[in-house]
Chain A
């Protein structure tokens, strides 16, 4: 228990003194999770919208497959991505292994089902009269799509928040694909894993609290966008 209190004090020290290694890990985490959150939104929003808006044969099995993808363990995704971007793998020439770019690619795969499933659910929950009302008002297809997205904007915001949380806190992909290389691919989560593995529990707690502080700051700013 004592290391939790020690960790709390150390967290403040780390933040205030601007410890280089900690800030390197913080910047790495922010860079890579923002990047993968945006990429997964770019891929997941359109697909989620199509999935929620239209009815087609095979819609239910497709939803089931998508929901199953939500249960992929991060280490498993990390292993699959490693197989592809390893020097011997098909994407080896891109030199993504042991880089933040590689981690971002893996995390996008992780967050993509989250965004798609939540967007589909939000669109499905939309007022069914809206589509007919828009058509009767003479809206063209582009207007219909943008208005529907606007209508479910809070659901989409929830998808973004969920995706961000999912990628910022994962370890499996960062560890396997990034290699936990100090100053380069060491994120806060892999740093916590390392410190805990070395038995430096107070350090682990401190880094965890730094991560929570960042997540808190992000969510505070997003909270202003919510329904009052």
Chain B
């Protein structure tokens, strides 16, 4: 190796290697310890529970009370259910009651426990070009279709998306799939609301995320979009904890998942959920039995 001197080049390369090894050490030893000693629970949940900040507020309490480390990935309900089928997570917190019940019948889910709800609302510009204010959901959607006003859909098979498609079905007419005014965003709830604001159109959202959106804008008056349609019984948005069937996922931590389910239905969590407010309004209403 006489042709190579220990120049500053080689010295720098060695320094970089040392740096890399140093940064890698915490990475491996932490995960090895985590797996052996701590109890870890992996949850798949929806964008509405995550984007509103509810989980960041609630989960540290869970960790303190149960000593279980919980991590969650937030996707649409469709992907969350899929992750559960593939046993990539241990527990689900989702809001698509029909899909959840089917899930249990098909043998993927074991226990379903309702923990909180809010409602879906249709929001739109204050000017309300389609004249939907105060109407029933069915009427409002028909008016929007007639006026060909922009309607932004989640388009991502989430719990919200499933509800929206069900509402269109209620009108008796086919889904406005390829209509020029029907825009499928394929993104989370806040992103969809922002897209709706850009086009000054209508969209369907859960009230919790809408309150978060208003808070981001600085208040109800500063937000260009307003609640126009609300109150129909069909607009109930029920959130539930779903544990996975050990027969399908023997490695899923069923006992930890049950602990999580019990805790969410327990008095402390239910009170915390009731007290979670933005702009003075509660985002979710606890309703565990």
Contact = CB atoms under 8 A, between A and B. Distances in A.
B157 interface: no
Interface stretch (A7-15, A109-117, A177-185): A177-185
B23, B42, B88, B190 — most chain A CB neighbours (10 Å): B88
A88 B87 contact: yes
Q: A-B pairs with the 10 shortest C-beta distances?
A: A179-B73, A87-B87, A199-B194, A197-B191, A198-B190, A88-B86, A34-B20, A181-B71, A31-B23, A87-B88
A86 B86 contact: yes
B273 interface: no
Given A181-B73, A198-B51, A225-B9, A87 B194 contact: no
Contact of A199 (B17, B71, B193): B193
B49 to A, nearest CB: 13
A98 B89 CA distance: 10
B202 interface: no
Contacts of B3: 143, 146-147, 150
A88 B82 CA distance: 12
B92 to A, nearest CB: 14
Interface in A128-148: 143, 146-147
Interface in B158-194: 187-188, 190-191, 193-194
B189 to A, nearest CB: 9
B249 A199 contact: no
Interface residues of B, number: 36
Interface of A: 30-31, 34-35, 38, 86-88, 95, 97-101, 143, 146-147, 150, 153, 179-182, 184, 196-200, 221, 224-225
B1 interface: yes
Contacts of B1: 143, 146
18 contacts: A38-B17, A87-B86, A87-B251, A98-B42, A98-B71, A143-B1, A143-B3, A146-B3, A153-B9, A181-B72, A182-B56, A184-B71, A197-B187, A197-B190, A198-B51, A198-B190, A199-B191, A225-B9
